[in-house]
């Protein structure tokens, strides 16, 4: 009986601490987005200037060649890949010192540089980059499509 009470007490304490932990995260408030051709587009800030990024939770963090040319971010690595047609392309990775989304500031994020945004269907959205799953490590994202806002926790 004492053993059962001990385990019930441990479970109650652990559940209570889990609830407290989730309350301690900072909420960014509501970050409104545009819905263009069923794509979620959010404003991000780099060096005080606003840019349009696609949110793709299955993709990776990438920036356009135009954005790289504007800021000349420090290249961290480079690799060459070949497609099915054996056409080789070089992919560069750069370090973004700081990028702001809503009230959140993300520092030292690695992004690849891509010309994908100049091709259809992305070209019609005039995008500067894409925020993917690798960008949001340790962040909970809540999407409200009806009200067109995102919350980060």
Domain contains 115: yes
Mean pLDDT for the stretch of residues 67-83: 90
The tens digit of pLDDT for each residue in 34-45 reads 988 888 999 999
**40, 102 Cβ separation under 8 angstroms:** no
Number of compact structural domains in the chain: 1
Structural Rg of the chain based on CA atoms: 20
CATH of the domain at 145: 2.40.70.10
pLDDT at 80: 85
Is residue 45 in a domain?
yes
Between the two ends of the chain, the Cα-to-Cα distance in Å is: 41
Closest C-alpha among 149, 134, 138 to residue 29: 149
Query: Do the domain assignments include residue 21?
Result: no
**Domain that includes residue 61, residue range:** 29-152
Q: Does residue 6 form part of some domain?
A: no
Residue 18 has pLDDT above 80, yes or no: no
- Tell me whether residue 109 is in a domain: yes
Q: Looking at the domain assignment, is residue 102 inside a domain?
A: yes
pLDDT of residue 120: 67
Q: How high does pLDDT run on average in the chain? A: 78
Position 72 in a domain: yes
Tell me if 125 is assigned to some domain. Answer: yes
Q: How large is the average pLDDT for residues 68-73?
A: 96
CA angle (21, 25, 27) in 5-degree steps: 145
pLDDT > 90: percent of the chain: 34
């Amino acid at each position: 009986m004492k053993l059962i009470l001990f385990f019930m007490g441990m479970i109650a304490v652990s559940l209570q601490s889990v609830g407290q932990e989730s309350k301690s995260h900072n909420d960014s408030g509501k970050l409104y987005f545009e819905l263009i051709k069923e794509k979620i587009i959010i404003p991000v800030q780099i060096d005080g200037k606003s840019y349009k990024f696609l949110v793709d939770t299955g993709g990776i963090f990438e920036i356009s060649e135009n954005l790289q040319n504007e800021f000349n971010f420090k290249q961290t690595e480079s690799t060459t890949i070949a497609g099915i047609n054996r056409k080789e392309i070089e992919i560069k990775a750069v370090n973004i010192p700081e990028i702001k989304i809503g009230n959140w500031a993300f520092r030292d994020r690695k992004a690849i540089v891509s010309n994908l945004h100049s091709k259809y269907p992305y070209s019609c959205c005039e995008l500067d980059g894409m925020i993917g799953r690798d960008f949001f490590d340790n962040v909970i994202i809540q999407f409200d499509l009806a009200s067109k806002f995102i919350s980060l926790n």
